[in-house]
Amino acid sequence: MPYRERLYSWAIMRLHPDLERSIVARYRSRVEAEGHYWTLRRLVPEAKFAIVFDVEADTTLICAIESESQRQPQRDRTTNQDLEV
């Protein structure tokens, strides 16, 4: 996510009937997003919208945690023996 988009973390997302979604607009504050959300609800009453806080996931960290958990065998806490997975 580019730096400019990170400044505008609050977003209004339109929820489409076919489980698709699209970002309508981005805002710096939740209050600003809520104001525009209610305006959109009045202008397009048949559409569904949601206010979201958009955060970029750090996939490198997630991959590192997953690979670490795969290397270490799981142990039974009561007997302290390795479990077969």
What pLDDT score does 19 carry? Answer: 87
Q: Which residues of the chain have pLDDT under 70?
A: 1-6, 56-85
What pLDDT score does 76 carry? Answer: 59
1-16 in b/e form (b: 16+ CB < 10 A) is eeeeeeeebbbbbbee
**Structure pTM?**
0.58
Pairwise CA distance, residues 38 & 21, whole Å = 18
Task: Report the DSSP beta bridge partners of residue 75.
Answer: 82
